[in-house]
Structure 1
Amino acid sequence: MNIRIEELTFEPMISYETIAQRTIEIGNTLAEKYKGNTPVFVGVLNGSFMFMADLVKQVPIPLHVAFMKLSSYHGGLATTRTITEDFNLKVDIQGRDVILVEDIVDTGNTLRYLVDKLKSLNPASITVCALLYKPDAMEHNIPELEYVGFEIENKFVVGYGLDYKELGRNYKDIYQLVK
């Protein structure tokens, strides 16, 4: 069933059941990789909040949770390429393994900025886990991007934390813009 947000129509793309299954798989892999450590999961707000919550529930090892808030879309359908930092990291990550949790990686501009910023804080390691990845939109080489839920076409999407004009985050499925 299609949904309407403001003037735009979106059609189903990825069901919550499919997202949940992939999140379990990623969580199991992360739990195995970081067994014996206490990693810091850093969610990038606002978009990652649903994925982050579901992901950490699947990682049954000691871990810390923190958030940062960055944006580059500012309500539109495309990135403005201007990165705004609204909420900085409030935990010391020096010498710690960091798993950066993103909702979506498209151009990679925000992610490159964020990885470089976190590296300056001297963590032991940084690994990026993104729910969605648009390889056709990518403009940067980001070797830290190790875990991807789903590779998708370069289409605008909403739901499961992703928004259009701050609306649509509450849908449990992911929807793509109907052209």
Structure 2
Amino acid sequence: MHNDLATALARSDLLFDRAQIEQAIARMAAAIRADYAGQRPLFLTVMHGGMLFASLLALEISEAVDLEFDYLHATRYRGATSGGGLHWLHRPATPLAGRRVLLADDIVDEGHTLAEVRDWCRQQGAAEVRIAALAVKRHDRCVPGLAANYVGLEVPDRYVYGFGMDYHEQGRNLPAIHALRTEG
């Protein structure tokens, strides 16, 4: 299969446009505001995929909850479509001990990367680790015991990209979520 973004878009279905994504983020933010009212959680963006989503989510949470920001960059993919061992490119500089941590990421696919990141946060002494994911794939292959606490959208078990998610390291900045059609 050719990895050209224009070709991929021609072979894809639009799942969610920007307005639908922003509505989902607003719903998530309302739940987060209620759960963290009066507190100052550590808001960790999982790079690169979580960047667009986390930015909009933080703005929607607004002044109702004073977030402390940091980020992490960990990957199992390194440009491939299947993962290996976790590779850290950047760990948060903010101490996690005793903190309520909110991880913001683009998607929970099978959850291996997020499970390892969550476990690392716990090992660093985080009092609590919750996950906010823009999208969750519908399938039964998720890491046991891993689930997003705040979910924006459910996507089919297909190759999805856009709005932070990449198509062979392309298209992260697309303002919508697309899914490749299955060949058949």
Q: Report if TM-score (shorter chain) is over 0.5.
A: yes
Q: Distance in 1 between matches of 2:51 and 2:152?
A: 15
- Could you tell me how far apart the structure 2 residues matched to 1:144 and 1:11 are? 26
- Please report how far the alpha carbon of residue 73 of structure 1 lies from its aligned counterpart in structure 2 after TM superposition: 2.4
Q: C-alpha displacement at 1:6, in angstroms?
A: 6.3
- Find the aligned partners of 1:164 and 1:124 in 2 and give their Cα distance: 35
**Aligned: 1:63 with 2:67:** yes
SS of the equivalent of 2:151 reads strand
Supply the RMSD in Å over aligned alpha carbons: 1.6
- Superposition deviation, residue 147 in structure 1: 0.9
Q: Would you say 1:167 and 2:176 are equivalent positions?
A: no
Superposition deviation, residue 95 in structure 1: 1.0
Unmatched tracts of structure 1, length 5 or more: none
- Any gaps of 5 or more consecutive residues in structure 2? none
Query: d(CA) in 1 for partners of 2:76 and 2:15?
Result: 23
User: How big is the shift at 1:16?
Assistant: 0.8
Cα distance in 2 for partners of 1:104, 1:128 equals 10
1:105-147 superposed Cα distances (whole Å, 9 cap, x missing partner): 1111111111110001111211111111114153312356211
Are the equivalent residues in 2 in contact too, given 1:75–1:166 (CA < 8 A)?
Answer: yes
Q: Are 1:104 and 2:104 counterparts?
A: no
User: Which residue is equivalent to 1:37?
Assistant: 39
Residue in 1 aligned with 2:126? 123
Task: Pick from 133, 136, 139 the counterpart of residue 133 of structure 1.
Answer: 136
Question: Normalized against structure 1, the TM-score is what?
Answer: 0.90
For the pair 1:75 / 2:79, whether they are aligned, the reply is yes
Between structures 1 and 2, the one with greater helix share: 2
TM-score (norm 2): 0.88
TM-superposed deviation, 1:31: 0.9
SS in 1 for 2:70: strand
Q: Deviations over 1:150-174 (max 9, x none)?
A: 1222111111111122210111111
Distance 1:68 1:137 in 2: 27
Q: Distance in 1 between matches of 2:146 and 2:173?
A: 31
Q: CA deviation at 1:7?
A: 5.0
* Correspondence for 2:24 among 15, 22, 25: 22
CA spacing shift, 1:165–1:6, aligned 2, 3 Å: farther
How far, CA to CA, are the matches of 1:137 and 1:67 in structure 2? 29
Which range moved further: 48-57 or 169-178? 169-178
8 Å Cα contact 1:126-1:144 kept in structure 2: no
Give, in angstroms, the shift of residue 148 of structure 1: 0.9
